[in-house]
Structure 1
């Protein structure tokens, strides 16, 4: 579990989330918005073979 606050922590939080180092994150609203903005478009994930 990770707990963080403040949009200036977005690069570090995003790195930890991408590395799957934690499975739960508690963020304040400003940080959550900044992380989402930096994360880019959501991937639809792998596609099944046709």
Structure 2
């Protein structure tokens, strides 16, 4: 394998690792937001039922 190919493989590997970190962070944020939405729906239903 040429040096250029090896460098490209290393660059792409680092890029994939970084993308995986971003993906994981986004998944955690999405999960957090989904839970917040569920809580807000429950609160809204409770408020509407009291009226």
TM-score (norm 1): 0.25
- The answer to which structure, 1 or 2, has the higher relative contact order (CA under 8 A, 6+ apart) is 1
Q: Which protein has the larger Cα radius of gyration, Structure 1 or Structure 2?
A: 2
TM-score (norm 2): 0.25
* Larger helix proportion of the pair: 2
